[in-house]
A and B are shown apart, each in its own frame.
Chain A
Amino acid sequence: EVQLEESGGGLVQPGGSLRLSCAASGFNFSHYSMNWVRQAPGKGLEWLSYISSTSNVIYYANSVKGRFTMSRDNAKNSLYLQMNNLRAEDTAVYYCARQGGAYFGSAYYYHGMDVWGQGTTVTVSS
């Protein structure tokens, strides 16, 4: 079964740090780009970060650029989000999500985010 499982969430004080992990199983993790998405309580989805399959391309939302660092370890089928200088507005459920895609002939076409984890909750509060 294709699965993503986040871990590492919790309660942290403003200015603190947290490292989220996402364990992938049931598919060839090293072939897929990945994303982090969060959802604050009662709010919509906010895309945070994207990493290509080989880590050569990494994008960040402006809201987290310079504070969050996304990385992956394909040998461990794992994705990470290092979050520093956390603020109250970072309180949210954090999801990792696979960027779907497929080859059509020799070209690779990206799809949407087709596999999501259950999320891990981060609360930033004193």
Chain B
Amino acid sequence: DIQMTQSPSFLSASVGDKVTITCRASQDIFNYLAWYQQKPGKVPKLLMYSVSTLQPGVPSRFSGSRSGTDFTLTISRLQPEDFATYYCQNYYNSPRTFGLGTKVEIK
């Protein structure tokens, strides 16, 4: 089964900081990688798919990239509304595993 190793699990940052979250797949999932944002008590929200394609309405400060089986979510300038938990997900095949999540908190 494909494993998705997400890091860090916790991140403390300030408004305006650049933030990077990584996700490593245990095997090739090509570009079938999505990122989700979840705020406390809320439903997860799709941020981007196919590694780097933003969902409509998602600010351009969010970006994604891939190097082999390593995937990165970058927030260029952290905003107050970005404090949340972020999950990567493989949707290439089954099981369509999520990473364990990265909680981004205010420093």
Q: What is A's interface to B at a CB cutoff of 8 Å?
A: 35, 37, 44-47, 50, 59-62, 95, 97, 99-100, 109-114, 116-119
Contacts and interface: CB of A to CB of B under 8 A. Distances in A.
Interface of B: 1, 32, 34-36, 38, 43-46, 48-50, 53, 55, 85, 87, 89, 91, 94-101
Contacts of B95: 47, 59-62
Given A44-B101, A113-B34, 7 more contacts: A44-B85, A47-B96, A95-B43, A109-B50, A111-B50, A112-B35, A114-B46
B103 to A, nearest CB: 10
B96 A35 contact: yes
A50 B44 contact: no
B42 to A, nearest CB: 9
A114 B91 contact: no
B46 A112 contact: yes
A7 to B, nearest CB: 16
Contacts of A119: 43
B30 to A, nearest CB: 11
Contacts of A99: 91
B98 A112 contact: no
